Homo-oligomer: A and B are copies of this chain.
Amino acid sequence: MTDLPQQPPTPPRATRSDARTNRARVLAAASEALAESANASLTSIAKRAGVGVGTLYRHFPTREALIVELYHQEIQKVIDLAHDLAATRPPLEALRAWFQEVARYGQLKYGVAEVIHAATNGGLDDEHYGPFLGAIGALLDAGAAEGTLKAGTDPEDVLLQLSVLWRIPPGPGAADRAARILDLVTDGLRVRT
């Protein structure tokens, strides 16, 4: 159970330099291409990056993996926010506020959406998935400690419920609908008096 930060034991060799630059070029190209059209093809991104498709796939096995990497920072912000809220606000309020933020981020860009999607598809490495679950767990635990939220809820179940947000068809009523659904989810998590 020791969890101290220790030097990794110098793995056989480091990443080759061309691999690093290619990876960066793909990310840059993806950033541009996705800004122009949210559903740009991976083929076109590879071409734009001046790289073979194989190379793109080697670095990012799935479309989600690529997007998740792109929105890495925003995802981290959402995760951090959960811990902040859990620590500084009444649990129920914290949960509500965080849900709203998740919905907002997800609708705006869609890095968070992809994490959730990738997560529910089971195909995500722990680098983002774990912390995201941790964020939810922190909110749930705070509420459980206070007695307003059910104890023992599985964060993964909540994550799955949140994934519904990205399936709301876009349009005028979308925000309202998201709010309604979040209310339902929230009430489902609360302790019944």
Contact = CB atoms under 8 A, between A and B. Distances in A.
What's the number of copies of this chain in the assembled complex?
A: 2
Contact of A168 (B160, B180, B183): B160
Given A160-B164, A192-B192, A184 B181 contact: no
Contacts of A120: 167, 169
Main secondary structure of the interface of A (DSSP, over half): helix
A177 B120 CA distance: 13
A186 to B, nearest CB: 8
A192 B189 contact: no
Most buried by B among A169, A184, A186, A193: A184
A183 B157 CA distance: 11
Interface string A143-177: 00000000001100100110110011100000001
Given A164-B164, A167-B163, A169-B122, A192 B187 contact: yes
A181 B193 contact: no
Contact of A157 (B163, B181, B190): B181
A81 interface: no
A70 interface: no
Interface residues of A, number: 26
A181 B188 CA distance: 9
29 contacts: A121-B167, A121-B169, A153-B184, A157-B177, A157-B180, A157-B181, A157-B184, A160-B164, A160-B167, A160-B168, A160-B181, A161-B161, A161-B164, A161-B181, A161-B184, A161-B185, A163-B164, A163-B167, A183-B188, A184-B185, A184-B189, A185-B188, A186-B188, A187-B190, A187-B192, A188-B188, A190-B192, A192-B192, A193-B193
